[in-house]
Every structure is written in structure tokens, then in C-alpha cells.
């Protein structure tokens, strides 16, 4: 499993550029492999993202179609999909669906 340190989500990712957590060195924003036992510890920590692109501790998203504009943008970004926030929510959803190949 992979994880990355993203800083404090309450303050736009504020935090150090490098952090040692659970005996592992994390560079802010960079993915690294983590053992399963550490992944379990990080999975409930909001300052880390797991390799599924969803912030640790976030509620599972059953239907991306119900997301707000900001939430859809963040959800897509976590999957490496860049959306244009200047567009309407309807157009962003269409762009996201197209990026998924649907």
C-alpha cells in the first residue's frame, strides 16, 4: 500500500515539508510504500492520503454524481483527473464521466 503526507486539511495542507511518522520518512506530497501495519495506522489520519486517492478517514463515496462542485473536484484530483472548476457542476460531472471512459 502507498501513502503520502498532505499536511493539515483544515488549513490548506499546512505542515512541514518532511515528517517522520511511525518510523517512516514522508516528504510532503510524495507517495511512498508503507507496510500494512502502518497503513492501518495511517488510514484514520486526516493528514495522510492512501493510494486510493481518498483522504484517510473520509466517508466512502457511493455515488460521485451526488457530490458538490468542490467535493467532485477534490475526489477527481485524488484519482489524477483534473477538472475545470470554472465550468458548471453539470459540465464538470460530464468531464469526469468522460475521463472515466463512460
pLDDT digits (tens, 9 = 90+) for 6-63: 988 888 888 899 999 889 999 999 999 888 888 888 877 888 888 755 555 555 566 7
**For position 18, what pLDDT does the model report?**
93
Q: Cite the beta strand spans of the chain per DSSP E.
A: 2-5, 18-21, 24-27, 32-33, 48-50
Q: Is the pLDDT of residue 90 over 60?
A: yes
Task: Report, as an integer, the average pLDDT of 84-94.
Answer: 91
**For position 28, what pLDDT does the model report?**
92
C-beta separation of 92 from 73 below 8 A: yes
CATH 3.40.5-classified regions of the chain: 2-50
**For position 35, what pLDDT does the model report?**
86
**For position 88, what pLDDT does the model report?**
92
**For position 42, what pLDDT does the model report?**
85
**Residue 61: C-alpha distances to residues 5, 33, 91, 98 (Å):** 21, 24, 20, 19
Topology of the domain covering 2-50: Ribosomal Protein L9; domain 1 (3.40.5)
**For position 56, what pLDDT does the model report?**
53
**For position 53, what pLDDT does the model report?**
52
Q: Is the pLDDT of residue 102 over 70?
A: no
Q: How would you list the strands of the sheet with 2-5, edge to edge?
A: 32-33, 2-5, 48-50
Amino acid at each position: 500500500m502507498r501513502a503520502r503526507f498532505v499536511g493539515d486539511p483544515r488549513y490548506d495542507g499546512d505542515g512541514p515539508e518532511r515528517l517522520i511518522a511511525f518510523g517512516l520518512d514522508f516528504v510532503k506530497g510524495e507517495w511512498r510504500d508503507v507496510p500494512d501495519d502502518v497503513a492501518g495506522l495511517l488510514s484514520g489520519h486526516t493528514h495522510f492520503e492512501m493510494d486510493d486517492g481518498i483522504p484517510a478517514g473520509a466517508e466512502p463515496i457511493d455515488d460521485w454524481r451526488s457530490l458538490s462542485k468542490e467535493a467532485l473536484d477534490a475526489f477527481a484530483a485524488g484519482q489524477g483527473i483534473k477538472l475545470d472548476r470554472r465550468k458548471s457542476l453539470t459540465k464538470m460531472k460530464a468531464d469526469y464521466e468522460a475521463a472515466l471512459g463512460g
